[in-house]
Amino acid sequence: MSSPRSRHGSISHDGRLIEYEIINRAAVTRRIHLEINELGGLQVVAPRRMSVRDINKALQQRAQRVTRFLAEARSRKQDLPALNYRHGERHLFMGKSYPLNITAQPGKRGMVKFDGDGFKVVAPGQSPETVRNQLIRWYRRQAQHQFETRLASFARRAPWTDGGLPAMRLRLMKRTWGSCSSKGVITLNPHLVKAPAECIDYVIAHEICHLREHNHGRAFYALQEQLFPDWREFKAHLKQKGHIYLHA
């Protein structure tokens, strides 16, 4: 699979030059959105059909908003803890942080167990990459279990599902918690299992509403209000803290 093409450009605001990299992704077909890279540089994700000139014009017209996005995104990035996957380091699960208890057992198959007080990690070695990979796999298994259970619960409360369990899949995503396809397949981000249970419920309820309403019109929000009345609180929580849960 070929990597996304990248181009470069710049805009100015208050006498300051803001350089950016343009990235094209097949999944982005309608409008541009902004990201920052590992070094804090601006990345503009845009549809392939959009020219550099049109992208630059759109950014320049919104230069103040771009500047504000950069400041906020860089500030959030500074809030992120350094994850070294070492003994004693704390990691998130269902909204709380717990320590890693790592035991190296050469020749043994690695595994992760959670006992309510922390993560017990048995690994062939203590290299950060080994521990990280085991933890990622554990998170995915927990996400599968938690999401399936909660999806079934909400589906039973949603008359428009006729009591059926919607199809679900997991996919690691950088900035999206969930989606619902036109075929009724709900995709959820495994990183969400690090957030409080109510945030998981909010995202699942949101996507179940999309089984009936494939937009964000009044009818959609009426369904969401019916299925999960506290959605505003936990949407706001994910907006404020989501970058921490997405950090891995």
Q: pLDDT (tens digit, 9 = 90+) per residue, 42-77?
A: 999 888 888 889 999 999 999 999 999 898 888 877
Cα 105 from Cα 124, distance rounded (Å):
5
Cα angle vertex 98, ends 138, 104, to 5°? 60
| The two three-digit tokens of residue 103, written as one number | 């035991």
The reported pTM is: 0.77
| Contacts (Cβ under 8 Å, ≥6 apart) of 181 | 187
Cα 108 from Cα 195, distance rounded (Å):
31
What are the C-alpha distances in Å from 160 to residues 30, 89, 106, 205?
A: 29, 44, 52, 12
Burial of 107 (0-12, 13-18, 19+ CB in 10 A): exposed
Q: pLDDT (tens digit, 9 = 90+) per residue, 122-149?
A: 988 778 999 999 999 999 999 999 999 9
| The two three-digit tokens of residue 98, written as one number | 């717990």
| Terminal Cα-to-Cα distance of the chain (whole angstroms) | 24
Cα 217 from Cα 142, distance rounded (Å):
33
Q: Determine the 3-state secondary structure of 183 from DSSP.
A: coil
CB 196 within 8 A of CB 189: no
The pLDDT, as a whole number, for residue 49 is 83
Domains and CATH numbers, the chain: 6-79 (no CATH), 90-137 (no CATH), 142-245 (3.30.2010.10)
Q: What residues form DSSP beta bridges with 102?
A: 121
The pLDDT, as a whole number, for residue 108 is 77
Cα 23 from Cα 6, distance rounded (Å):
5
Ranges of residues in the chain whose predicted pLDDT is under 50: 1-4
Cα 222 from Cα 232, distance rounded (Å):
13
Number of helices (H) and strands (E), helices first, in the chain?
6, 11
| The two three-digit tokens of residue 71, written as one number | 């400041």
The pLDDT, as a whole number, for residue 2 is 43
Cα 39 from Cα 78, distance rounded (Å):
11
